[in-house]
Amino acid sequence: MRWPKLQTRVHVEWLDPAGYIGDSVENAKPAPCWTEGILVRNETDYVVLATSQYKDGSGDFTVLVKGCCTKVRKI
């Protein structure tokens, strides 16, 4: 999967590992998810999206393991 350059606004589709307790094995599967934000880090195994940022450099960030990501596109 090709990731856009840093500071690009992206929509990422990914599979969230999920736990199932007291359920049948047929229902156990990852949960499809999506996250949108600004790509602020692109490491070998993971990316970081900023969903909110403050002027002092702090903010709200989501870390996604690349192996769980199924699709990325610029928005």
Report pLDDT digits (tens) over 43-70.
Answer: 999 999 999 989 998 999 999 999 999 9
**Residue 2 within any structural domain of the chain:** no
**Residue 4 within any structural domain of the chain:** no
**Residue 59 within any structural domain of the chain:** yes
| Structure confidence at residue 57 (pLDDT) | 84
Radius of gyration of the chain (CA): 14
Cα–Cα distance measured from residue 70 to residue 65, given in angstroms and rounded to the nearest whole number: 11
**Residue 1 within any structural domain of the chain:** no
DSSP 8-state secondary structure symbol assigned to residue 73: E
| Structure confidence at residue 63 (pLDDT) | 97
What domain range includes position 50? 9-74
Count of structural domains within the chain = 1
CA atoms 5, 6, 9, 14: torsion sign: positive
